[in-house]
Structure 1
Amino acid sequence: MSKSRTLAVAYVGCRTSRERGAKGRGLSVFDVHADGRWTQVQLVEGMVNPSFLAVDRQGDFLYAVHGDMTDVTSLRRGPDGRLVVLGTTSTGGANPVHLAPDPTNRFMLIANYASGSVSALPRNIDGSLADPSAILILPGHPGPDRVQQLSSHPHQVAWDPANRFVVVPDKGTDQIFVLRFDPNDARLEICGRFATKPGSGPRHVVFHPTRPYAFVAYELSSEVGVYGYDAQAGTLDLRGVYRTIPADASSGNTAAEVLVTADGGMVLVTNRGHDSIYCAHFIAEQETLHAPSWTSCGGHGPRFASFGVGSDQLLVANELSDNICAFDLSPAERPTRVPGSEIITGSPVCILIP
């Protein structure tokens, strides 16, 4: 049998801590083959909860925030995708959950969930990160959930398509912040604040690939919001809110990742509890979501999802069942599980294919 060629390299972040009941062992590196198989080629151990990953804008370096901790690790990517650890730096906050490079590639912005802050860390010449040069505390009153909304809890730092503004869903205060970052003086400032329904818990945002719209997953209310987005002003205008679980579904669900397909026609949200993938069709002319459907995620606790090699495949990280499942999006109606595609790996929470 001929050896299947390698199409890409995939990086999988996970939970490792006893407090999380985790089974992960570290940051995993996989070769992704043309026949759909994944082969693990490296495991970077000794990392606590490398739970969200990002690469710099040139793709030469990878960065992993350590969930429930206070730091971020920098790694250099080799020509074959293997990783070399460069060092670990404080994020200037607690429980970092998301990070993204700025447009100049000179800084990494990090959302610190527990401390309610966004920090900017300069990138050194060797790719490692320096101590934070800016830390912005997000203001606001906690939402009504006395367990998960104790203070400001930013869950993402997402650059808009024009790379002018950073959009930050704040699960703790039921707000979506719009920030501006000036790399010349490493200054973060708030340009706008947009309230969401009390108790909704906005978690993640994604932008339509060609039209002026954004979609926001509300974690606590299991909903997704459709927004008009003004790229010049950095403003959001709510057009509609849709439930991400069926009307007759039992309580106990939280929405996690939100994605939009490359053609902008399909919005996807992962549901933890209902353990499903919500799928609805976006009709831009009507600014609405239509024909919702639900597909089993193939496991339990689908925390994160991303597109695979090509935009017609969806990958779902099922944290609580220790597996990643692949789904075919090409029929354009709803995700379809790819037979034999399951990857077994401990407590996966993030998948990155640069």
Structure 2
Amino acid sequence: MGGADSKGRSGEHRAYIGSFTSGGGRGVTIAAVDPKTGALTPLSVATAEDPSYLALARDTGVLYAVSETERGEVAAFRPTAGGLAPLGAPMRVGGSGPTHLSVAGRRLLTANYTSGSVSSLPLAADGRPGGPSHVLPHQGSGPDTGRQEGPHAHQVLPDPTGRWVLSVDLGTDSVRVCALDPATGALRVHTETVLRAGTGPRHLAFHPEGAVAYVLHELEPQVTVCRWNGASGRLEPVGEVPVASGGASGAVRAYPSAIVASPDGGFLWAAVRGADTLVTLSLADGPGKPRLTGAVDCGGAWPRDLAVDPSGNRLYAANERSGDVTWFEVDPLTGQPHRAGSLAVPAAACVVLG
């Protein structure tokens, strides 16, 4: 979810936290990360409108933020010793309600939830985004008429080989595998993997070895396990694993939001809203056989995002409704998180370590 390591360009460990300004958030909060304890100390705030998702470029160190608004924009910032310096004015993405973004080579990709599309923007040498070079509209719908009346792209990311771009669509119950033209930035659908109807796929994470992907569903507390063939660009579902909301009342509906894999490939963690839990799945039986082993309280309410530090020793949960980022120490043998502290961040939506 972040850069190649856990140090910013200034040499110190940092966390970048996006928040909903429409819900009382401050924009992008920059916090120092204690390398020994993982504790967060706020440093400064950068202005952005509803920056619900952030991405840190590995090569340039530039931080990107979507504005999840009807207008649909991305902003770019260069980390400095004093905080974040804007790289020009925010740029329109050609879609509305962008909820996710990622960097693929010299392109910035956004998943536009409201308009049900994916955008590809060119990046200058300094990391500054230009106008959208290509917008790929999704087509389709699902059985949940309240949430799936049309396409709702929720995530877009490159695969581990860098050859393909995958877009996860909650509205169409599918994942599209696209080819990205490196010269023009045009996206072309290569294959579309159809998942079980009504499950509402939201986010996907790859196993570190690269041959397995895990799709987390928002409308049902499930993870679909998929084989991934980076040579052919094929995503093949092979099974489902429930994400139980341990400790929650059966009357509380669960809305899973984020999934991450440990850097050593031993565990998966998922954040589940409603139940307000962090769920641990062991991969001791192999990458294709996740096994639910436990759930703990997320430390707040409505965990919208989840990040793991490069060591795999800590997890950070952005709890939107309680307005905090809570960090957890991870048991190296069991993968179970243990709450270690929290930082107040109103309307917290996303956390990226950099």
TM > 0.5: yes
Cα distance between partner residues in 2 of 1:238 and 1:198? 13
Question: Matched residues in 1 for 2:183 and 2:230: separation?
Answer: 22
Partner of 1:98: 100
- Alignment partner, residue 53 of structure 2: 52
Secondary structure (helix, strand or coil) at the match of 1:315 reads strand
**Residue 279 of structure 1: CA displacement?**
1.0
Query: How far is 1:331 from its partner?
Result: 3.4
Q: Secondary structure at the match of 2:89?
A: strand
CA contact (8 A) 2:39 2:327 kept: no
* Contact in 2 for aligned 1:293/1:334 (Cα 8 Å): no
Partner of 2:6: none
Q: Following TM superposition, by how much is the alpha carbon of 1:185 offset from its aligned partner in structure 2, in angstroms?
A: 2.1
Determine if contact 1:317/1:323 at 8 Å carries over to the other structure.
Answer: yes
Counterparts of residues 28-47 of structure 1 (less than 5 Å): 28-34=29-35, 35-45=37-47, 47=48
Residue 174 of structure 1 and its aligned partner are, at CA, apart by 0.5
Gap runs ≥5 in structure 1: 1-5
| Conservation of the 8 A alpha-carbon contact between 2:166 and 2:176 | yes
C-alpha deviation, 1:124, in angstroms: 2.6
Equivalent-residue separation in structure 1 for 2:42 and 2:286 (angstroms):
44
1:342 match: secondary structure = strand
2:90 maps to what in 1? Answer: 88
Is 2:307 the counterpart of 1:303?
no
Q: Which has the higher contact order (CA 8 A, sep 6+)?
A: 2
Q: Structure 1's 10 and 134: CA in aligned 2 closer, same or farther, altered over 3 A?
A: same
Correspondence 1:1-150 to 2 at 5 A: 7-17=12-22, 22-34=23-35, 35-45=37-47, 47-69=48-70, 70-78=72-80, 80=81, 82-85=83-86, 86-103=88-105, 106-140=106-140, 142-150=141-149
Which stretch of structure 1 is more off in the superposition, 231-240 or 170-179?
231-240
- Counterpart residue number, 1:327: 328
Give SS of 2:275's match: coil
Alpha-carbon contact 2:116-2:152 (below 8 Å) kept: yes
| Range with greater deviation from structure 2 (24-33 or 171-180) | 24-33
Q: Secondary structure at the match of 1:50?
A: coil
Kept in 2: contact 1:8–1:309 (CA 8 A): no
Q: CA deviation at 1:38?
A: 2.0
Change (3 A) 1:268 1:139: same
Task: Call closer, same or farther: CA 1:63–1:211 in 2, change over 3 Å.
Answer: closer
Q: Distance in 1 between matches of 2:171 and 2:304?
A: 18
Q: Which residue of 1 aligns with 2:153?
A: 154
TM-fit CA distance, 1:82 = 1.8
What corresponds to 1:3 in structure 2?
A: none
Q: 1:252 to 1:291 in 2, by over 3 A?
A: closer
1:157-198 Cα deviation digits (max 9, x unpaired): 121111111111100011111011012122110011011111
Q: Deviations over 1:193-228 (max 9, x none)?
A: 011111100011111101511101011011111111
Secondary structure at the aligned position of 1:73 is classed as: strand
2:194 matches 1:195:
yes
CA contact (8 A) 2:40 2:342 kept: no
- Aligned equivalents of 1:159, 1:286: Cα separation in 2: 20
Query: What is the CA distance between 1:127 and its match in structure 2?
Result: 2.9
2:17 is aligned with what amino acid? V
Equivalent pairs counted in the alignment come to 339
- How far apart are 1:241 and its partner, in Å? 0.6
Q: Are positions 1:205 and 2:210 aligned together?
A: no
Please tell me whether residue 347 in structure 1 is matched to residue 353 in structure 2: no
**Aligned counterpart, 2:7:** none
Confirm or deny: 8 A CA contact 2:298 2:317 kept in the other structure.
yes
Alpha-carbon offset, residue 108 of structure 1 = 0.5
